[in-house]
Structure 1
């Protein structure tokens, strides 16, 4: 049991060090040897636990989990439905990323190279599925699965194409559209979407979350 615990602690230490180095030096500029030296572990041990690409994937996976945890901790009792939860999540997620140059560089690599872990995909798709089911829309399961694929591809492309627009006057306009793509694709009314956007405007004022949480997860 002690050996297992030590192994988990070592793996977590490697990830923590890798996140900091990726953030400060850049992903391509950081070597496995850099990570091993900073974590004070053998290079072979880093390679045993992780491929370099998976380190970046796990870094964003932990970041996503951290955001959901903070949402529940800070405003969970005030959230009325899954649409609101998704709206808040993507405002925090993309707001952190597009307002921080170092994190944005990592995110673009993470998305374009498709370093997303299967566990991350499962979490995001389950949340989209819950979102659609909560709307009580009558959709065939096979059609729903295809919509999930379309939603992911559309969201990925949209974020890549419009990232340069993020720092203009309406910073949340893009994230709100992205976070409600599944609802829009499955026929939710604009009135329902706008009502939920209005609700979370007040909730966002209660939340404290920054790009620094990427390193601190």
Structure 2
């Protein structure tokens, strides 16, 4: 019988149960009742710990992002034990691996898309619209248009649309490189700096293996 419980262990059980349900069923198809049943707690325990469904999603997403980054840093330290890579390089590798996970695991991508679009979309709305207005003025071919749109509204795409258009084929590395070039150029970095950054992160990333299971700790 489910009971009302407080404490760190209960919070962890709720988060772990919700994470597995969000991944397997999708956010839209997951309810408080299902999470409570899987965690063997009362619904009121979920509300006590997370206040709202949105907060629960966001906390899971933040923990997963932090865990993924730590996992990648650990793997980099194993492959490059004497490394002194700048934080920008480490972030670049993490971003590249994230894109690979999005392309390889549709359910993983769906979870991040749902959290972004349902919880974080409003806070990013003004920035997105400013970028959209700016890029609309450019004369873009189809491939460039798809790449720009992947920056402007990245989580409104389904996985096949995001990485593989029927007319223009894209892969996660190509999308990642475009995003990195766009961001670093916006920050005022030179073309030489950008090329070296992409070359370095590509080389390091190729030596790092990460899967959905060890990234999300679904066991």
Q: Same fold (TM over 0.5)?
A: yes
59 and 213 in structure 1: CA distance in 2 versus 1, 3 angstrom threshold = farther
Q: Which residue of 2 aligns with 1:17?
A: 17
Alignment partner of 2:109 out of 104, 109, 124: 104
Q: Is the 8 A contact 1:18 1:35 kept in 2?
A: yes
Summarize the alignment of residues 52-91 of structure 1 with structure 2, pairs less than 5 Å apart: 52-76=53-77, 77-78=82-83, 80-91=85-96
Displacement of 1:21: 0.6
161 and 24 in structure 1: CA distance in 2 versus 1, 3 angstrom threshold = closer
Number of residue-to-residue matches in the alignment? 183
Q: Is the 8 A contact 2:103 2:172 kept in 1?
A: no
SS in 1 for 2:7: helix
28 and 40 in structure 1: CA distance in 2 versus 1, 3 angstrom threshold = same
Summarize the alignment of residues 117-136 of structure 1 with structure 2, pairs less than 5 Å apart: none
Equivalents in 2 of 1:59, 1:208: separation in Å? 23
57 and 104 in structure 1: CA distance in 2 versus 1, 3 angstrom threshold = same
Could you say which structure has the greater relative contact order, defined with CA pairs below 8 angstroms and 6 or more residues apart? 1
70 and 215 in structure 1: CA distance in 2 versus 1, 3 angstrom threshold = closer
Displacement of 1:82: 3.1
85 and 158 in structure 1: CA distance in 2 versus 1, 3 angstrom threshold = farther
Gaps of 5+ in 2: 1-5, 132-147
Q: Is the 8 A contact 1:36 1:43 kept in 2?
A: yes
Q: Which residue of 2 aligns with 1:205?
A: 206
Q: Which residue of 1 aligns with 2:140?
A: none
Q: Is the 8 A contact 1:90 1:179 kept in 2?
A: no
Q: Is the 8 A contact 1:64 1:93 kept in 2?
A: no
Cα distance per residue 1:53-109 (max 9 Å; x no partner): 222211211111012202221114535323322221111222212321212222222
